[in-house]
Structure 1
């Protein structure tokens, strides 16, 4: 990879995970996240508007925007063409990893087991997404998985809320924490960007050492 994920994250330890139903939401959402202190965001490819949202949020300029829930190499290609600077997948897929290498963007595959982590490490990746983190056992599961693999860095995502941040950040292997609680669909649908800003600022503050 030409750009390490640590550079893409720009020092932040919070990765908002966004499922955005409409591209009209993109600019005010980007503004709220940036004002709240976020430096990057993951736009999930779970809606028909995902590519347009990536493009609009990337154009805002206040955030480094990536694509999440990327399941195929073709999706990765479309995401990067729309402006995604990194790619996140819920699982490990060789074709997605190969396409991201070709496109020279960081890729963060999801893992839930030691076997999947070993495959990712063998592919030359040192940062993975622990997913779904809370159903898998939370920080206890992360700690157990990290112990045999000290070279691995984790971005736990899935079911995490503000009350669990300190537990995850206490683990040295955690690079960042991803979460959808920062901008849930309900807040996006009613346009409550002030609350999104508040939640983001709260998370960023608690992520500081």
Structure 2
């Protein structure tokens, strides 16, 4: 049985994948990564079998998967980053850090608004983990890992993604299959579950996975 490894983006947790992952749980072994932004950190890959691993990442999660799973059977990127500075500079991240340290709740509300995540969860955030995540995004670079990847790649983005603009997504994934959804913001695994499911299922079928 193939393994689906889900890695969420900055500011979210593994529940981000709940609706989408349920669509695949009958056919695949599902593994969840959680970066601890809400206090439940799970980043061990002890049960990973790279020969069976299909990586599905959102935003920062794509960067992490590229750096930590060296030879997957396939990679699916949803609004995925492979680095930040080379495309965006550092001013925005530095501003986010300052607001986080001053008032974490304020920064997260602003962030969710920009992503299109309409329901702000009533949860307690781990500010230190969030700052660490921003630094990982700021200084991380998986461009070499992506260039060396030999497996099939599917990239998904949306026209109205304010975090990962369509133009930059096209630059990042220019050598791969990029599908642009009409809308859905930065959170299409939540806002466009059925569309994401269909694209992923067809991709897996086409590649006999």
- Name the TM-score, length of structure 2 as normaliser: 0.31
- Name the TM-score, length of structure 1 as normaliser: 0.31
